[in-house]
Every structure is written in structure tokens, then in C-alpha cells.
Amino acid sequence: MDTKRIFVLGNGFDLAHYLPTAYVHFMDAMMVVESLEEDQELGFDDLFQKYIAGECSDREKGFFRNTKELYKIDDLRLSIDTVKNLQTKLKNNGWFQHFKHHLTDVDTWIDFENEIEDILLNIDVLLSRDFDNSTILSQDISVDTEYSLDRYQIRKASFSDFLGDTLVQFSPKYLNDMKFKSSQIQRILRDFSIISKVFGSCEEVGGYSMSKEVDCFMLHGSYDEREKAKAHKNCESSLFMTFDIDRVVDKKYLNRFSRFYTGFKGDEVFRKLLTDLGIFSEIFTSYIELVIDRLAPIKSFDNFGDLGKEIDAVYTFNYSNTFERLYPKSLENQLNRTEVQYIHGSAERKNIVLGISDLGEGKLKKYKIYGFVKTFQKLVNNTDYMFLDNNDVKLTSKPPINYLLQNDYEIIIWGHSLDSSDGEYIREMFNLNSDNLLNRVTIKIWYHGSPHTQLANLMHIMGKDVIQEWMKKGWLVFQAAPDIYVENKKIKK
């Protein structure tokens, strides 16, 4: 009786091949790009300078040492234009700005998804608090000037004119009243530029003192623009002053009733977060395309073990084309299908999925923000979301009985954490063995280091009784994943 062999790949598959696709690898490389001050190309050693210099754990040192032995790293170059384009996106993206300050508590892509949900829940806290009549400052604008003496020589009321028709300032008391959530929510609002600090300057006109008529102009943006404002001073007799106005918010983010502002507008706030998430996906897509997919092996990787046998289907949760690039012989000679199925989209097709697993039945569902949900994104982006639905494999949770009379099935999971964020797929696999399906499905978990985390995740999703039954009957097997470096140790520069 034939055995249909199916591979299910997670990010651990890429990491097992010493490709820097971990969340921290991506963030470290992008922080190098963002901080670059001169126009220059960037190579592999530039992007991963922290790891190349050994400013990391011994495990990471070994990882990048093997990467350099297995791949043509010298061929990897990001052009000046590419770097500039990425810099612009990174500096203006709220998600990147937020996550670069959370490198110690966001370590994996699962943590990344959990942090997205936490941010959305913090926005719910923000939206649940109404303004009072002192929240939005009008005449008594709070201003910090470079020269403290000047602060009392100009009417504070005049600063309200500088904010124009679209900006207002709100009282710090509103955010401070959120107590232990205050610092978190303020950080989020600043990272996404929903609240900000604007810079401006005033100059004396015709010898009048600053307490009287002044010629004022505003400059919005960075401290570089503030320095340009200082340079505007060209007459020693002119009194020139720069100032900051903090906690400024665009009126489009606020609800208003008559002439009173009543609170933050949820639709606009979530729209900003969702737009930035789309741009963050574009940034990560560029990283996969320009870095990961361009790391060509010095020599084609050798097929081994189950990769040397016939493969009937490959389903990957990764965005890279690693399997096709590194094992072309498996595709040409053994894979009984035309292409690998990308469950969460691919960088090549530019339809990757980044988000949370579900809105749940709690606080977030009322906002109908399904754009953050992976299932919604998969439908909109037209990814290969039909898991285990394949004409050659003929394996679904409820197939016609005659499909399974002719074949056994072996599902090999390589490098997937089996976390609950992908629980729907895990449950689908474990629903395959039942009396009417003839119990002919075996699941092999290829683990790295230890199977404990994956086993615990499976018990959390399926329950200990189901997992215990599968292991007793030999339907669920844990095996150490192959060591790719050892398998290809003859590869040298």
C-alpha cells in the first residue's frame, strides 16, 4: 500500500537551514538600515554586524558562522536607492518604531502577534475614556521655549494660532488618569504619530518687544527642521525664539459634538494602525525578497532521509521560497504537484499575512477590525489557504471513504511551533484519524533541541487525552530534525 508523504513547514525550517528569518534577525537588520547616516550600499556583514562582531550568544555566533559557510554572502548587496526607500518606510512606520523599543520582551514571531493584540486592547482602553471640558486646551496652550525668560514675554494665547485649523493640544491629565496604562498608551500614540510634538519659532518685528505684535511661523517635523529655524535668524537686533508644543493631535482622530471634543475616534485610530501594518508587511516582504531569497547556497543542498523519498505535497507557513531554492531536485523528480502551497502568502507574490489569529468574543470584536485578522487577510490576499485540500493527495477531514482505501498518509511537520495562533490547522490534522477514515494518518514532529514546547502546545490545543491516545497508537511521533550543516558539511568556500 502506498504512503502519501506531506511536508508542513514553519519558520524553524528556514532557521534549520541557517537563514536569518527569526524576528530578532529582521529587526536588528532593519535598525541598521534605519540608523544609517550616509548614502551607501549594505552587504550581509553590514546588516548583521552585531552577530558578525560576536555581540550575541554563542548559539547565534555559531548560527551566523554556518550561514557564512553555506551561502554566497558576498553576493548580497542592498543598493543605495533600496536602503533609502527602506529608511523612509521604517522611520515613518508606527509598528517598527514600537517594536524596536520592545526587543527584550518580543523575541519570536508568536510574541510579535501577541503584541499586536495587546496594542489593540490598549487602544480599546483609550477609546473607552471620554473627554471632559478641560481635556482639549484652547487658550492656555502649554509651551516649552529654548529661553525660559522669553516664556513670560509672549502671550500664551497667541500659540493657539500656530496649530492652525487641523491640530489641537490636549491636557496631560487625560492620559495620566489611565494610571498604570498611561505610559503604555502614550508610547503607542507617539509611535504611530497620533500624538506628537511640533516645533516652531517666533521673531520680533520692527523693534517691538515680544510681549506685543510678533511675526510667527511654524515648522512641523524633526529636530533637523528645528535647527533650520534657528538658522533663520539673520539680524542681531531681532529677538528670535524657538518653542515646542507637545501632545498635539490631528482633529481627524477626535470625535466632536457641537464645539466640544468628546473622545478619540476609533475608526480613524484603527485605520492608522492598519495602514502602518500594511507598510510593515511591505518592509518584511522586501527583507525576504532582498536578503533571505537572495542567499544562494555555495553548492546545492543534498537530498537526505525523507527528502529523498517521494513527496506528494508541501504546505509552508513561511514567506520565503527556501524549499524550492535549496531542494530543486525534490520539486523536479519527486513532488507530485506543480508548486508549494503558501498558507500565509509569499514574498514573491507580495501577499503575505501578518496579524492576529482572531478577534475573539471579547472587547475587540465590537470594532469589526477584521483587517488585523490572519484569516481575513488570507481571503483578501488570495493565499493558498485550502490546507490539505489537494487533488493528488486527496486528503481532507471528510473525504469520500474510497480515497483512503488505497493509501496511508504521513504528515511531517518541520519547524512549526504548533502554537495556538495556527490552531485551526492543527485541529484539522488531528481530526483526520477516526473510525470512518480508517486511522491511516501518522504525524511526525521534527523538533530542534527539545520537543517539550511543541508537545505542550499540542496538549493545550487538543487536550492531553487526544495527544496521549495518538502517541499510544503510534499516530504521533517526535523525531529530532536533521542537522543541515552536518548533512552538507562537505560544502566549503
**Does residue 368 lie in a domain region?**
no
Mean pLDDT is lowest, of 337-341, 373-377, 381-385, 434-438, for 434-438
Tell me the pLDDT tens digit for each residue of 245-254: 888 999 999 9
86 and 12 within one domain: no
134 and 124 within one domain: no
79 and 31 within one domain: yes
479 and 393 within one domain: yes
Does pLDDT of 397 surpass 60? no
452 and 483 within one domain: yes
Give residue 123's pLDDT.
96
**Does residue 274 lie in a domain region?**
yes
**Does residue 366 lie in a domain region?**
no
3-class SS string, the chain: CEEEEEEEECHHHHHHCCCCCCHHHHHHHHHHHHHCCCCCCEEHHHHCHHHHCCCCCHHHHHHHHHHHHHECHHHCEECHHHHHHHHHHHHCCHHHHHHCCCCCCCCCHHHHHHHHHHHHHHHHHHHCCCCCCCCEECCCCCEEECCHHHHHCCCHHHHHHHHCCCEEEECHHHHHCCHHHHHHHHHHHHHCCCEEEEEEEEEECCCCCCCCCEEEEEECCCHHHHHHHHHCCCCCCCCEEEEEEEEEEEHHHEEEECCEEEEECHHHHHHHHHHHHHHHHHHHHHHHHHHHCCCCECCCCCCCHHHHCCECEEEECCCCCHHHHHCHHHHHHHECCCCCEECCCCCCCCCCCCCECCCCCCCCHHHCCHHHEHHHHHHHHCCCCCCCCCCCCCCCCCCCHHHCCCEEEEEEEECCCCCHHHHHHHHHHHCCCCHHHCCCEEEEEEECCCCHHHHHHHHHHHCHHHHHHHHHCCCEEEEECCCHHHHCCCCCC
113 and 37 within one domain: yes
**Does residue 26 lie in a domain region?**
yes
Residue 404 confidence class, pLDDT cut points 50, 70, 90: very low
440 and 479 within one domain: yes
Mean pLDDT is lowest, of 58-62, 298-302, 316-320, for 298-302
Question: Domain holding 335: CATH number?
Answer: 3.40.50
**Does residue 205 lie in a domain region?**
yes
**Does residue 423 lie in a domain region?**
yes
240 and 168 within one domain: yes
Structural domain for 146, as ranges = 130-262
Does pLDDT of 398 surpass 60? no
289 and 230 within one domain: no
Does pLDDT of 151 surpass 50? no
State the total domains in the chain: 3
Does pLDDT of 354 surpass 80? yes
Does pLDDT of 140 surpass 80? no
**Does residue 365 lie in a domain region?**
no
Last residue of a domain, one of 213, 244, 262: 262
444 and 333 within one domain: yes
Average of per-residue pLDDT across 452-463? 95
256 and 201 within one domain: yes
Count of all residues that appear for the chain in the document: 493
Provide the percentage of residues in the chain whose pLDDT is more than 70: 77
176 and 66 within one domain: no
Give residue 342's pLDDT.
93
